[in-house]
Amino acid sequence: MKRIALFSAMALSIGLMGCASNGGGMASAGEDGSTYMTKSFKEVIATSFQAKGSAGLDRLVQTEAQHECSKYDYLGKPLPKDIAARIEKDHYSKVVYPADGQYFGDWKAGLKIAEDGKGMTWNDKPGTPNGGNCINCHQMIPNNPSQGNLGPSLIGYGKTRGNSEQIVKYTWARIYDSTSFNACSQMPPLGASHALTQQQMKDIMALLFDPNSPVNK
Partner 1 sequence: MNQTRRQVMQIGAGAAALGVAASAGLMPSIAQAADAPGWNAQLFEAKSFADVAKIWGGTPTESTDVSIIGPDIAENGAVVPVGVKSNAAGTTALGIVVEKNPTSLVAQFNMTDVSIPNVATRIKMAQTSNVYAVAKVGDKLLFSKKEIKVTLGGCGG
Partner 2 sequence: MKKRFIGIAISAAATTSFYALTLGVGLTPTVAHADSYIDMLNQMGGNPAEFNVSAGEKLFKEKRGPNHKSLETCDFGLGPGVLKGAYAQLPRYFADTGKVQDVESRLVTCMETIQGFSKEQIEKDVLKDPFAKNGGNATDIVNLAAYVAHQSDGMPMEVPQNTPQEKLSFENGKKFFWYRAGPYNFSCATCHAENDKQIKISKLPNLSTPDGEKAWVAATWPAYPDSQGVVRTLEWRMNDCMRQQRIAEPKYLSQVVIDLETYMGVMAKGHKILTPSFKR
Using CB under 8 A, which of 54, 136, 163, 199 touches partner 1? 136
Please list, in sequence order, all residues whose beta carbon lies within 8 angstroms of the beta carbon of residue 114, skipping any fewer than 6 positions away.
132, 134, 135, 140, 204, 207
Which option in partner 1, partner 2, none does residue 60 bind, with CB closer than 5 to 8 A by kind?
A: partner 2
**Partner from partner 2, partner 1, none binding residue 91, C-beta < 5-8 Å depending on class:** none
- From the CB of 215, what's the least distance to partner 2, in Å? 17
CA atoms within 13 A on the CB side of 123: 1
Binding to partner 1, residues 69-128 (CB under 8 A): 115-119, 121, 124
Q: Which residue number, 55 or 167, has a Cβ lying nearer to partner 2?
A: 55
Contacts of 194 (CB under 8 A, 6+ apart): none
Q: CB-wise, 168 or 196, nearer to partner 2? A: 196
Alpha carbons 99 and 177: distance in angstroms, whole number: 17
Is position 191 an interface residue for partner 2 (rule: CB under 8 A)? no
Residues 6 or more apart in contact with residue 103 via CB below 8 angstroms: 168, 169, 172, 202, 205
Half-sphere exposure of 24 (CA within 13 A, CB side): 19
Question: Interface with partner 2 by CB under 8 A: which residues?
Answer: 2-4, 6, 10, 36, 40-41, 43-45, 47-52, 55-57, 59-62, 65-67, 69-71, 73-74, 120-123, 135-137, 145-150, 179, 185-189, 193-195
